[in-house]
């Protein structure tokens, strides 16, 4: 299955993910807010399950190649939501079969995810790969580096700094997005203007207080940037290999949103 084919056949609604209309994942069993905000889908890659040394060769010979693909599921709409990591490992030519690999809880609702690679193995209990995640909610806000396979995390933009970037006096709601510029090799946090607005053809209900909304309103995310912060130097200090992150892990990486 090619990347394009999978993206066109993949969808999510509420807490469920569907492939060709059939459920492949549900977050109902996890006791936090599991409304899905986005899916981050990696391209299919060849990985090796084992290696061995052969006489006369200095480098190991890798064996048992499998096709691997991850789906990173960002959730939450109230206090906090998890990142669920789905993985498909199969022999070439076999059908992809996604299974839940791990669950992370970054203490905020997750609105964007980028896969990253570290330069070495000194970070996060020797983790080689990680996830850069951003979001906000009642329990916290900010940007974090999260181990893809371990349970640790590193602060990139702490809660207070994120709050100051947002400045709710100037903008009621924001949608945090992580952007990559492969020309300058920079990774940036952008806070897009967001909020609630009346649906086309609808009028405000005069019987409810002005601070409340009802079914006459809808959420929106504009492309106007309220605030922006270059994260590149901080990520380098925390051990991220920016070049490999951009060229190896985000080439063909697709994020699906409603």
For 80-133, the pLDDT digits (tens) are 999 999 999 998 888 889 999 999 999 999 999 999 999 987 888 788 899 999
Give the integer Cα–Cα distance in Å for 42 and 142.
24
Place of tokens 């181990």: 147
Place of tokens 């409603």: 258
Q: In sequence order, which ranges of the chain are alpha helices (DSSP H)?
A: 3-9, 159-166, 232-237, 242-244
Q: Quote the distance between the C-alpha of residue 195 and its chain's center.
A: 21
Q: What global pTM score does this model have?
A: 0.89
Give the integer Cα–Cα distance in Å for 109 and 136.
5
Q: What is the pLDDT of residue 152?
A: 85
For 170-187, the pLDDT digits (tens) are 998 999 999 999 999 999
β-strands 140-147, 153-157 pairing: antiparallel
For 38-69, the pLDDT digits (tens) are 999 999 988 876 666 667 776 766 777 888 99
Look at residue 249 and tell me whether its pLDDT is greater than 90.
yes
Place of tokens 């970054």: 106
């Amino acid at each position: 299955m090619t990347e394009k084919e999978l993206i066109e056949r993949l969808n999510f609604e509420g807490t469920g993910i569907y492939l060709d209309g059939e459920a492949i994942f549900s977050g109902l069993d996890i006791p936090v807010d599991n409304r899905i905000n986005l899916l981050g889908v990696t391209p299919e890659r060849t990985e090796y399950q084992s290696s061995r040394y052969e006489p006369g060769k200095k480098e190991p010979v890798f064996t048992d190649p499998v096709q691997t693909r991850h789906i990173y599921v960002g959730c939450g709409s109230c206090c906090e939501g998890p990142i669920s990591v789905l993985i498909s490992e199969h022999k070439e030519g076999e059908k992809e079969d996604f299974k839940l690999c791990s669950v992370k809880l970054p203490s905020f609702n997750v609105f964007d995810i980028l896969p990253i690679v570290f330069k070495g193995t000194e970070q996060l209990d020797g983790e080689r790969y990680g996830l850069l995640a951003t979001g906000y909610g009642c329990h916290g806000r900010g940007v974090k580096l999260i181990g893809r396979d371990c349970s640790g995390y590193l602060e990139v933009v702490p809660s207070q700094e994120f709050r100051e970037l947002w400045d709710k006096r100037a903008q009621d709601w924001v949608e945090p997005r992580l952007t990559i510029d492969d020309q300058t090799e920079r990774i940036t946090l952008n806070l897009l203007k967001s909020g609630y607005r009346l649906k086309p053809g609808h009028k405000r209900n005069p019987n409810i207080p002005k601070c409340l909304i009802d079914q006459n309103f809808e959420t929106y995310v504009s492309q106007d940037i309220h605030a922006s912060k270059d994260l590149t130097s901080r990520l380098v200090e925390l051990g991220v290999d920016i070049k490999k992150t951009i060229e190896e892990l985000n080439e063909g990486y697709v994020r699906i949103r409603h």
